[in-house]
Amino acid sequence: HIPETGPALILANHLRKADSFTTPALIVRELNRRTIFAAKQSYFEGGVDIFGHHLRSPTAWFFQEFTHAIPVARDGKKESISEFHQAAVSVLNGGDLLAGYPEGTRSPDGRLYRARNGFATIALEAMVPIIPQGNMYSSHRGADPRQIAHVHFGEPIQPAEYEGMRPFELSELIS
C-alpha cells in the first residue's frame, strides 16, 4: 500500500518502545525508500564527551543516521510546533515518506487513543496520501518472553477523501 515513488504520510499506532525501532527497520528494508521519521527530542540527546569529541548514544545515532528523524519537542510551545510542522511539510514536498505516531506518545495499555491534530494539519497542507499502519505483537509459544512484531499497512486515504476537512475531523478519521 505504500507508493514506490512520491510523498505519503505513514501514521501508526504506538504500542511499545520497540515500535520506534521495528517500524523504521521494516520500512527501510522492505521499501528501500527514504523515509523520514518523527521522533521525540530526547532520542537526540545523550552521549559522552571523550578527549574533546562528542560520542552520541546508540539511540541518538540510530535516530539521526538511520531514520533521518525530525526531532519533535513535546513542550507545547508554538515555536516548537511550527518548526516541526515546517520540517514535516518540507519532507513531503520533497517527495519523501514521513512516518509518525498521531497519538503523540506510546499507548500505556495497548488501546488506540485519539490522534492529536498535528499530523492532520500537516496532511491538510501537503495533501498527500495517508497510509495507516498497525503494529501488533504476538508471543512465542510456551514461556518464551520474546514477542513477534507484526506490521500491517492499510489502504491509503487519498487527499480527495479528506480535502476540506478541519484538522480535528481528519484526526478523528485517522484515529
Cell of 20: 520506534
Please state whether the predicted TM-score (pTM) of the whole model is above 0.75: yes
Those residues whose C-beta lies under 8 Å from the C-beta of residue 38, and which sit 6 or more positions away, are 69, 70, 72, 84, 88, 98, 99, 100, 101
Mean per-residue pLDDT of the chain: 82
Place of cell 510546533: 81
Per-residue confidence band for 104, with pLDDT thresholds at 50, 70 and 90: confident
pLDDT in tens, 114-168: 778 899 999 999 999 999 988 777 766 665 566 777 778 899 999 999 999 999 9
Residue 43 and residue 74 in contact, taking contact as beta carbons nearer than 8 Å: no
Per-residue confidence band for 48, with pLDDT thresholds at 50, 70 and 90: low
Those residues whose C-beta lies under 8 Å from the C-beta of residue 9, and which sit 6 or more positions away, are 92, 97, 98, 99, 100, 119, 122, 123, 126, 128, 129, 130, 131
Place of cell 506518545: 105
- Residue 166 pLDDT: 94
> What is the 8-class DSSP label of residue 75?
S
pLDDT in tens, 54-103: 666 776 677 677 777 888 887 878 888 899 999 999 999 999 999 988 88
Place of cell 527501510: 28
Rounded to whole angstroms, how far apart are CA atoms 45 and 52? 17
H-state helical runs in the chain: 19-31, 58-61, 78-93, 118-126, 159-162, 167-174
